[in-house]
Amino acid sequence: MKKKILISVACTLLLTMCLAVFAACKKSGDKVVITVGMWPEASQKADIEVFNKWKASFEADYPEYEIKPAAYTYSPDTVTAKAESGQLPTVFQTYFTEPQKLITSKYIADITDLLHEFGWYDKMDTTMREAVTSDGRVYGIPRDGYGLGLFLNLEMFYELGEIDKGADGKYILYDNDGAPLYPTTFADVKRVSELVVAEYENTYGMVILSANKNGGWQFSNMAWNFGASALQVNDGGKWKSALNSKGAVDALNWILDMRQNDLISSASSNSYMDWYRNIGSKTVAMAIAGSDALSLPVTNYNFNKDDIAFVPMPTGDGVSQNALYGGTPYVFSSKASKEQIKGAMLFLKYMGRSPEVDEVSTRAMEDGNRLAQSKGMPILPTIKPWVNEEYLTYANALEAQFVNVNMDYYKDFFSTIGTIKKAEEPYYCQEMYGYLDNAIQEVLSHPATANPQALLTTANGQFQTVLDKLK
């Protein structure tokens, strides 16, 4: 009996020692793993080098964490499957149209308390913060904002005689009275498109997007500028679709007119990459684009950055002028732990994406600008996510150092965006854009028979069934 007790005591001691060793190994060896969904694709060698630099610096300062790359591109069509299977990265990018849906589905985490702990809450641009807020709680951090505008190939405009050059070789975009020589109305866009088609072979005035919900996204801005004050209307507490309002029908009729006169391509399925592919290959003179994406023709097609102008969205009815305003927020998987989310937020500082202005943050912001500079990208002022004076002072000084374009080609956009910006429609935007895509595709595919009023009435009914889900 005594022997059995001694054996039992020995086993207990051995088990205790093993558990102690295991606990010690777990404490010293295990790390909090953060998957960073904004990691560059494998082909982007220079970008990866910069991200690895940020990773090494962060892990040196916070050895309890490990950064795991995850090159994730958000898609409204696949996010549910990713979320339900637990495959969403700890932190990833989405669009400002998406957080409300992701919040309702419980796919992203409430970070309000951490924002207050970090002292970031009151430093955030209030418009951008509202886009990631539900019931007073915040679910994301804005990366930046953008406004839609009109991208111009200045070389073509010069060859067409629409603009001239000064003695310094720079393009002149204004007449002697200071009035713009670039298109300010959709009628102007059509007139220039006629010149383009007459002058160049296999070249069109502009590209119209129509796929992957990109067409509906840009079309909503066109509809506003043709007089549609809203495409979703609150009627006594019930939300009504207004996709077939007069302004929207007029905008689609304008597209039909452009297509019937062969001023735009017959391609019926253009997605976002097609605007910069067409611009980059110089098969169009104009495109609607976001102010955050103007480098894409340069980095993908070696377009000359000095031949770019970016001007305010044209008016369609001669009165209405709006610029769709959106942006990119960072959001955090609801399956992530508080420690993971806190670490991911800390890593944003090492990427230069926080409101802080310390050595770590400023070095990262400079890294980003030098990377853009090394690629020959156009470096422009940005629509900033933070409003604290210290951040704005530093960010503006950095831009003054690195901006490498002639701001005469951009000044009207940046001077007006604050007054003409208009947030995207409030509910189910991606679904709405999909129905509008269908209408645009029909106009591009069958210009002889397409009926914009009927097409938008169909889209309106389809989208109303989606809005009816709102309580």
What the block records as the tokens of 396 is 């503006």
Burial degree of 4 (CB within 10 A; 0-12, 13-18, 19+): exposed
Residues with Cβ < 8 Å from 372, sequence gap 6 or more?
Answer: 295, 379, 402
Count the alpha carbons within 13 Å of 189 in the hemisphere toward its beta carbon: 32
| CA pair distance 437, 435, nearest whole angstrom | 5
| CA pair distance 418, 132, nearest whole angstrom | 20
Task: Look at residue 260 and give its three-state secondary structure.
Answer: helix
Tens digit of pLDDT at every position of the chain (471 positions): 433 444 443 444 444 443 333 333 333 358 999 999 999 999 999 999 999 999 999 999 999 999 999 999 999 889 999 999 999 999 999 999 999 999 999 999 999 999 999 999 999 999 999 999 999 999 999 999 999 999 999 999 999 999 999 999 999 999 999 999 999 999 999 999 999 999 999 999 999 999 999 999 999 999 999 999 999 999 999 999 999 999 999 999 999 999 999 999 989 999 999 999 999 999 999 999 999 999 999 999 999 999 999 999 999 999 999 999 999 999 999 999 999 999 999 999 999 999 999 999 999 999 999 999 999 999 999 999 999 999 999 999 999 999 999 999 999 999 999 999 999 999 999 999 999 999 999 999 999 999 999 999 999 999 999 999 987
Residues with Cβ < 8 Å from 244, sequence gap 6 or more?
Answer: 453, 456, 457, 459, 460
Enclosing H/E stretch for 308: strand 308-312
CA angle in degrees (0–180, nearest 5) for 288-380-306: 75
* Positions of E strands within 113-269: 133-134, 137-138, 141-153, 164-165, 171-172, 204-207, 232-235, 238-241
Count the alpha carbons within 13 Å of 464 in the hemisphere toward its beta carbon: 15
CA angle in degrees (0–180, nearest 5) for 13-19-23: 145
| CA pair distance 373, 237, nearest whole angstrom | 50
Residue ranges and CATH numbers for the domains of the chain are: 32-145+326-402 (3.40.190.10), 148-325+419-467 (3.40.190.10)
Enclosing H/E stretch for 36: strand 32-36
